[in-house]
Structure 1
Amino acid sequence: MGWIIAFFVACSTCGYVNGVIFVNSRMVYSGAREGHFPHFLSFIQVDRCTPIPAVMFTVILPLVMLMAPDVGWLLTYSVFVSSFVTLAPVLGLLWLRYKEPDKPRPIKVWLGFPILYTILGMFVAVFPVITRPVEIAFALVVVSAGLFVYYVTLRKATKPKHFTQALDKVSYVCQMVLMCTPETCKDVNHTLTVEVIQVPETIDEERNH
């Protein structure tokens, strides 16, 4: 009867992975709409109104990370980065409650919860620095490199020409293969209004030559 426990553990794991893919893909989709990710990650499927490129990105990225030879190193890296990312907004909440205590808030939680979360989060974030400093240093290097790439490729006003052309081609392929398009607006009935699919100018130029 030992297979029963394994079966329910597998069901629980599948449910957790499904929830993570659902949440993280929407975060990527929202970030792309705000300009924090490439624009094609904000495309949605015209029939199902689902952010297919963001879902595929959320699934492919962990598969690439699983190719790491040392799973323990991967766990240390991911736990540290995720703990730091989730701890930052909680610290921001405590700072705002201290700096602007009288500001109107739609939802106001008891300060004991964020304080307890901060203590536990600091333990989870600081303990790996003591036990595995090399892996944590590499994680900080990767995060810093990501900030640099974000500034050069997305935030900077003048982007590299080849990078812009590559994004145009990827956007065109996503629209044609996945049948997705940028979202423009929604009416009160949540009916999707989409843009006409157009071939990027860079691809037109290549065809003409």
Structure 2
Amino acid sequence: MSRENTLLSASNGGPKQSPVRSNSSDGEKSARQRSQTPKVEFETERVELKKSIKFSGALAILLGNLGGASIFIAPTTILSLTGSPGLAVLMWCVGGLVTLSIAVSVCELALLLPRAGGPYIYTLQVFGNIPGFIILWGFVIFIGFPSWALAAYTGALYMLSLVYPDCPPPESAVKLLAAWLLVGLVALNCTYTSYVTKLQGFFTMAKASAMLIIIISALTTVTSDHTQENLKHFMDNSNTDFGRLCLSVFAGYFSYGGWQIITVLMEEVQNPVKDVPRALVSAMLIAIFLFVLTNMAFYMVLTPNEALQSDAIAMTFGRRLHASLPYLLAILVTLCCIGSVNVVVMGQPRILYAAACLGHMPRLFAMLHYKFLTPWPATFTMFLGALYMLLSGTVALLINYISLYVCIMLLVLLLALLHLRYSHPDREQPFKVPIPVLIVQVILTFALISVSVYEKPHELGFCLLILASAIPVYIVFIYWSNKPRAFVHLVDSFTDFIRKLFLLELPTTYINNHR
């Protein structure tokens, strides 16, 4: 036990230690220190992530993060692939059900390996260090930084649409407001996790309310000539090309994306075996139901050309029905975007935290604040990466590669579950997805990746190049153990400075893994 740990424990109401004279030569000093050691260890064991998420919190987190705010901005990607509103709505349903089945399989894997870190931890424990680090590297670059920046930018854009109703807001103003939005939510998530979990329920209600308003508003127009004309041509120009239909299911992976966040927060769920499967299935079914009806509502009021030309389809929909409806939808969508940022800020730093606990990230990322028990260094690092992408505009370059990386990651996770089924056939678990279903999911995911590569080969090349860059990073910074002493001393000094500056401590998980 380090001297700093002992002093920190005492300064927070822990066991007080009497001053010890430096010239003491009898055995009383040793006896007194031995008798106090268990008390200090007790304080150290409390430096862990809090189990503060109940079923309602897990449900709110999932509903708030599923698809983010994409349903209100540009749900027409699938329409551009299918050609007709009717087929687009059908593929939204199919994509949701496919995603649900894969999510249940990954949930089984998560319950077998219930640790914070999500896909990275599962890949690491099943396939080893290098594959695990590659998944971690890709997750941070393709999902972590871009999702923070994109959600914050979208929220800021809708906020400013209330001030600039007739013209696009200045780009600099949008980025500045998005940056402040990130700062505020990072501050909240670093201090009061239980509070922001409750607050997430409010943001989720805003998202659901916006979709219900859109659905009900469309139903009021069902007898109008314009809506009847749109319904009459609902299946016109349907594109039944197999490749295009596969790409529409592929796009559904992104449209229903975000459910993986619950696997990242696994260690903070109070009863993961019971609550995580219930929350995941409930959230996915609710999302499929609302997303399909919301798309149906859009295409009842708007023509395909109007929908495809819109950058924010919810606002276009509102303007067609009532002059005040766009303002109401803008407020609700803004709250939805804030909720999306809140969820990723809450969950994704836990991946860096888990990686650091296992030695795949700097030791600093494994540290928690001694009072709030949240991973401050990991959260600040994600914030800085997202801020760079937001201000530099590089997030737009990565948007096209997110779905492809997600498919690759899901394929790896499905193969990991099959491997565990084969190597540990008698292992007890809460539920088991049938093996034939798993095999079909693997084949389907591989087929979707293959079709995507055939249609857009450059995307695969760039995605694989980014993933391959993880290997030299792993070799130099992790595998190479005999680094120069000056470099090691510099890193240790910086780590110790940050630890003292922000009152951080290493959790018991890290201490146990590095004894």
What TM-score do the two structures reach when normalised by structure 1? 0.73
The one-letter code matched in structure 2 to 1:77 is Y
Runs of 4+ deviating beyond 6 Å: none
- Alignment partner of 2:507: what SS? strand
| TM-fit CA distance, 1:165 | 3.5
The partner residue of 2:427 within 94, 99, 104 is 104
User: Which structure has the higher relative contact order (CA within 8 Å, separation 6+)?
Assistant: 2
The match for 1:90 is 414
Distance 1:106 1:26, change over 3 A: same
Identity among equivalent positions (%) equals 23
The partner residue of 1:63 within 387, 393, 399 is 387
Matched, 1:36 2:360: yes
C-alpha distance in 1 between matches for 2:338 and 2:502: 25
The one-letter code matched in structure 2 to 1:106 is Q
State the Cα deviation string for residues 98-147 of structure 1 (Å, max 9, x = none).
x2473223233223664565455435534442333223212212211112
| TM-fit CA distance, 1:6 | 2.4
What TM-score do the two structures reach when normalised by structure 2? 0.32
State the Cα deviation string for residues 79-114 of structure 1 (Å, max 9, x = none).
3223322331222112333x2473223233223664
| TM-fit CA distance, 1:3 | 2.0
The one-letter code matched in structure 2 to 1:108 is F
The match for 2:346 is 22
The structure with the larger Rg is 2
Aligned length: 183
Name the one with the larger helix percent: 2
The one-letter code matched in structure 1 to 2:399 is L
C-alpha distance in 2 between matches for 1:21 and 1:104: 34
Matched, 1:5 2:335: no
Matched, 1:139 2:463: yes
| TM-fit CA distance, 1:31 | 1.2
| TM-fit CA distance, 1:70 | 7.0
C-alpha distance in 2 between matches for 1:129 and 1:69: 23
The partner residue of 2:483 within 153, 156, 159 is 159
The one-letter code matched in structure 2 to 1:58 is M
- Alignment partner of 1:147: what SS? helix
The one-letter code matched in structure 1 to 2:466 is V
The partner residue of 2:405 within 77, 81, 93 is 81
C-alpha distance in 1 between matches for 2:445 and 2:494: 38
| TM-fit CA distance, 1:38 | 0.8
Distance 1:50 1:151, change over 3 A: same
Distance 1:171 1:70, change over 3 A: closer
The partner residue of 1:177 within 501, 505, 510 is 501
CA contact (8 A) 2:366 2:378 kept: yes
Unaligned runs of 5+ in 1: 186-209
Distance 1:163 1:24, change over 3 A: farther
The one-letter code matched in structure 2 to 1:92 is A
Name the one with the larger strand percent: 1
C-alpha distance in 1 between matches for 2:460 and 2:487: 30
